[in-house]
Structure 1
């Protein structure tokens, strides 16, 4: 009788261990893109390091592509090449870049110009950008000089394949929506590879899908 109890106990322990080993475990991997960091948690995959490694490589390749299109941190990206131009000749760009520009145009117009991807030089002038902190505010003359080449309506999409500027000093910075675009692209990639439960975060932009092991995803918001 005791022997049977031990056999049942052993069977129960083996069953428990087998279940525990095959239970879904969340995976997290991180990296850098567009001058910031990204973090991805996949909660619907069985323990499979090879699959996770393959997924990370695909994500990195995708984000490198987005980076090459719209990152102002990459001096050779499409957007950086456009910003360096001092003529009004059209510059061929990728279809993804075109689509983000079209979205930016919609937001620019619906917000009455409150969202303006060309405002970077004015932000720099006030000491909040790459030119560094200012101890005194800029003069009215300095502000007016920069306002001459600020305005998203100075950007034109040509034949849905190219863009040009009507002022040689106009520059683009799509950071406000490019990271969100990257998050959506990564989410689409994960779904296309069969993942349903995941969270993607790039520089504070987040997409969550499905659930994690302990329940719903919880997102913190800094005020």
Structure 2
């Protein structure tokens, strides 16, 4: 069975000129691969493939320099090392990301929290390295006592963030989405009106292909051992798609799976029946963060949040009789 989703709240895409040229640009960044497909016009100075490649790489490098947990020279790592009560100035885009993250933390009552960096490391999903056994309860409790999103102080006037002395930020749940948005802004500044961007499985698209068909993409979904996987397709025009799933990063101990999505309220990996959550949103940064937040909330509370905030979300639950889908009202409205 195939489900097809069509965006509702965007203008019809412009028909590409007959002489438009298709370019596919690729590279590696943020510990993953990226691909950009786009239509450019011959003779347009901003549409030169080499120039576009260089510009995209510059955008990604800037994200890494600001927000990487894995690069000790990044602004994020500098903040995580800073002494207690020190204010650190942030670039406007970095500040905007933190500001949105704290808003989502407040909205979800801490189900989403970028201050869980030490917990991520403790569980072996950060730069400290992988582990094959779960950490001690006492260590988890100690990390919880170090503080959470409520501990962060933002200075909106001067675009500053204050270190409490015990907080470590981790932006892995929002950084890739933010990077896609930065690439999209760059492309649109070059008068590119037809593109599909993919970074580590997350996507953002605009316009249509040369044959006037949409940028069709398949929504990531976990395999069901007993039944053929249901296929989900979305036309990405003015939309981004991000998926959070328990089947990507995990380790097993004594027959139990510990997935990489942590519940920052408890300090432990999420334990619910959700296999994956997919969010469609104009902003990939928000889609990225929301997919994680809804996964932590679980299907019932996550669906309630998505409906209350008009978020297009698809929930896939594991049940004894196979995968079951639930979708928010906004997602169901996009079904073709």
- 8 Å Cα contact 1:93-1:163 kept in structure 2: yes
- Larger radius of gyration between Structure 1 and Structure 2: 1
* 1:33 paired residue number: 29
Q: Aligned match of 2:95 in 92, 95, 98?
A: 98
How far is 1:82 from its partner? 0.4
Q: Tell me the alpha carbon deviations over residues 140-166 of structure 1, each in whole angstroms, 9 at most, x when there is no partner.
A: 221111111241112111244211122
CA distance, structure 2, for counterparts of residue 92 and residue 66 of structure 1: 16
In the other structure, the counterpart of 2:149 is 152
> Which position in structure 1 is the counterpart of 2:220?
222
Tell whether the 8 Å contact from 2:22 to 2:40 is kept in structure 1 after alignment. Answer: yes
Q: Partner of 2:204: helix, strand, or coil?
A: strand
Aligned counterpart in structure 2 of residue 163 of structure 1, from 151, 156, 161: 161
Residues 117-162 of structure 1: CA distance to partner in whole angstroms, max 9, x if unpaired?
A: 1112213323333444444433322111111124111211124421
Match of 2:171 in 1: 174
Q: Which residue of 2 aligns with 1:118?
A: 115
Deviation at 1:219, TM superposition (A): 1.4
Q: Deviations over 1:146-194 (max 9, x none)?
A: 111241112111244211122x231011121122122112111111211
Against the structure 1 CA distance between its residues 131 and 70, is the aligned structure 2 distance closer, same or farther, given a 3 Å change threshold?
A: closer
User: Higher helix share goes to which structure?
Assistant: 1
State the structure with bigger RCO (CA 8 A, min sep 6), 1 or 2.
Answer: 1
Query: For the aligned residues, what is the CA RMSD?
Result: 2.2
Any gaps of 5 or more consecutive residues in structure 2?
1-17, 222-336
CA contact (8 A) 2:91 2:159 kept: yes
Q: Within 2, Cα distance between the matches of 1:194 and 1:153?
A: 41
- The whole-number CA distance in structure 1 between the counterparts of 2:150 and 2:208 is 42
**Relative to total residues, which structure has the larger strand share, 1 or 2?**
2
Q: SS of the residue aligned with 1:175?
A: coil
Name structure 1 gaps, 5 residues minimum: 1-21
Moved more, 105-114 or 44-53: 44-53
Instruction: Note the C-alpha offset of 1:98.
Output: 0.6
Are the equivalent residues in 2 in contact too, given 1:44–1:198 (CA < 8 A)? no
Is 1:76 the counterpart of 2:106? The answer is no
Work out which of the residue numbers 186, 193, 196 in structure 2 matches 1:189.
186
Shift of 1:47: 8.7
Provide closer, same or farther for how the CA distance between residues 52 and 145 of structure 1 changes in structure 2, counting only shifts above 3 A. same
SS at match of 1:64: helix
